[in-house]
Structure 1
C-alpha cells in the first residue's frame, strides 16, 4: 500500500515538474519578448527625438499690415494690398487664407 502511495506521489510530482518546466519555458520566452520590445521602444524614442530636433520650426511672420508698410517703403508703386499680403503669408505658413 505504501508503494502505491509512493508511486502515485511520484507520478504527481513528475506531472508538476513537467508543468513547472512549461511555465519556466513560457516565462523565459515572455522575458525575451519584453527585452525585445524595450529595445524597440528605445529605438523609436531615440528616432522620435532626432526627428523632433531636426524638424523645422514654425516661422513667425509680422502682421500683414506691417509687412505691407515695409513693402511700400521699399517699393513705392506696389499694387499689393493687405489681402494680397495675407494670402502670401497663408501660403508660406501652409494655411489657406480666404479674402474677406
Structure 2
C-alpha cells in the first residue's frame, strides 16, 4: 500500500509540473498571438501608406535638373525617357 501511495505521489508531482509547463506554454501562445496581431496591423498600416504608383517628373524636367547639377553631362532626352520607362517598369 505504501508503494502505491508513493507512486501516486510521484505521478501527482509530475502531473502538477506538466500543468505548470502547460500553463506557461498557454501564456506564451497568447503572447505570440498578440505579437502576430500587432505585426499584421502594422503591415496593413504600412501597405496603406506606401504609394501604389510612383510618380516621376517629366523627362525634360529631369534632364534640366541633371544639366544643372552636372554641366558636362552627355545624357539627352531619349536617355532620360528610357530611364523613366525602366523605373516605371521596376515599380510595377
1:9 counterpart residue number: 4
- Structure number with higher relative contact order (C-alpha < 8 Å, ≥ 6 residues apart): 2
Give runs of ≥4 in structure 1 deviating > 3 Å: 90-95
Deviation at 1:83, TM superposition (A): 3.0
Equivalent positions of 1:78-93 (< 5 A) are 81-87=77-83, 89=84, 93=88
CA distance in 2, matches of 1:25, 1:53: 42
TM-score (ref. length: structure 1): 0.61
TM-score (ref. length: structure 2): 0.66
Note the aligned Cα RMSD (angstroms): 2.8
Equivalent positions of 1:23-42 (< 5 A) are 23-42=18-37
- Is 1:19 aligned with 2:14? yes
1:17-46 Cα offsets, whole Å, 9 max, x none, are 000000000000000000000000000000
CA distance in 1, matches of 2:46, 2:7: 58
